[in-house]
Amino acid sequence: MTPPPVATDRAPAPLTLRGVTVVDVHDGSLRSDCDVAIVDGTITAVGPRDDACAPLAEVVSMQGAYVVPGYADMHAHPLGRQDPTGALALMLANGVTGFRQMHGSPDLLAQRRDGALDLPSASPALLAMPGALLTPFNAATADRAVDMVREQHSAGADFIKIAAVTPEVYFPAQAEANRLGIPMLGHLPAGIDVVAAVEAGFHGIEHLGPGVTMLAACSTDQTNIAAEIATAPTPKLPPVELPFVDRLMDRVLTKLVVNPLNRSKPADIELLQRAVDTFDEGKAAELADAFVAAGTWHVPTLIRLRTQQLCDACEFSHDPYLKYMAPATVQTWRGAAKKFGRFTAAQRETFRSVYDVLLRLTKILDTAGVKMLAGSDSVGAAWEVPGFSLHREFGELARAGLSPLRILQMTTSNAAEYLGTTTTAGSVAPGRVADLVLLRDDPLEDAAHLSSVMGVVQRGRLRTGAELTAIKNEVSTTSPAH
């Protein structure tokens, strides 16, 4: 999957970063006291000090800094929302130099095609984008879903994202996506056989499911749980697309994504508890092997699952980063937490137990060698502050037991592999685009060090720590809350 070209300003002047330690994200080796030479936004040399390039370039001493590729947030929603908080600027200020946009529309695809997206200069690059999410609103039947796949492919979508459809709709849509050569990914349809879906070509699973579907596949009571999922009532929706359905769907989804768990019924929670009680690591490992065999990608978005499953936790309501969010957004999140608090203590404990199992599942996937990417699911989800939330994702992946190198790979080299851009991105090497993060502390010692951002190079332009702080302060100052 190759992302479209990104419009950029005039290339910055040549730059040499002096005295840095270069991190090889493939094998975890370190090269200390290096120079990284950058010309026209591309890395031209990495190695020992080279005074020959000094007269031709701005030489910036960064002695002791660790250099890694720019972070890719591979599940984010900063475009197309009424968001006054400077989400893109916050992402860049936290080292995110590229993002995969996870919801789209015909308008967004047309704007990208025409070069009219008009991203601010302090913005990560748009790496990939789908068309409108396929749901029962716009893909209630197999025929309509197939039509939607064709329409989005023709409109230039990089992938098809799907959610909440029935298995009867999913498989024909997947077959059409396979025929056209466009990846289909997203949320596993409720009640689907997970192995059958990935063998049919499901390219990537977001949020470890979400919901009970993947947990059911890891359960010793899989047959009975799957039967209950299959007999659950589904919403009755018109089999044809109505006028303005995309706008209607966007409004519904905007409210829903704040915390989908708040719509849970007692029977849903009881089913989750059964899946937790019968979770079997052996079955989970078998499922992980099936993902490896099929080449299925996963974006766990653990921070999204944590804010969802523990929505009323004080760590979120007292988050100092809330100062970057608009008051109306924070009020919406507090409302979601209050609604979450109406669940009984036992029900909330079930949600917390689900999260613990999802951490275990993530480690099982990692051990098996499942391909995984790092993503935050900001903007829109409760308690997700753009940029900072990706750093917290790193922390949750570490909590699951993943090594610092594995986490670094998920947000750098793995993203380049997924996008098919390994010759131009995902490593600190000549010929790669100069999207880099400068870290104060060794990221291979502790995943928390991935947050020690002291500078960002964006397409060859260096933004120092002072500039990054200024960007954050500007967002905070201009927020309606201040």
pLDDT tens-place values along the chain, 482 residues long: 444 444 445 678 999 999 999 999 999 999 999 999 999 999 999 999 876 555 578 999 999 999 999 999 999 999 976 554 599 999 999 999 999 999 999 999 999 999 999 888 889 999 999 999 999 989 999 999 999 999 999 999 999 999 989 999 999 999 999 999 999 999 999 889 999 999 999 999 999 999 999 999 999 999 999 989 888 766 555 555 555 556 555 665 667 789 999 999 999 999 999 999 999 999 999 999 999 999 999 999 999 999 999 999 999 999 999 999 989 999 999 999 999 999 999 999 999 999 999 999 999 999 999 999 999 999 889 999 999 999 999 999 999 999 999 999 999 999 999 999 999 999 999 999 999 999 999 999 999 999 999 999 999 999 999 999 999 999 986 655 44
pLDDT of residue 80: 77
- Catalogue all structural domains in the chain, each as residue range(s) with its CATH number: 15-69+427-478 (2.30.40.10), 71-419 (3.20.20.140)
User: CB within 8 A of 68, min separation 6: which ones?
Assistant: 23, 25, 408, 412, 428, 436, 437, 439, 443
480 torsion bin: left (phi>0), alpha (psi -120 to 50), beta (else)? alpha
* Whole-number Å distance between alpha carbons of 274 and 267: 11
97 torsion bin: left (phi>0), alpha (psi -120 to 50), beta (else)? alpha
pTM above 0.95, yes or no: no
**CB-CB contact of 374 with 394 (8 Å):** yes
The token pair at 67 is 């250099």
**Nearest 5°: phi and psi at 317?**
-70, -20
pLDDT of residue 102: 97
Cis peptide before 379 (omega within 30 of 0): yes
**CB-CB contact of 16 with 53 (8 Å):** yes
* Whole-number Å distance between alpha carbons of 166 and 171: 9
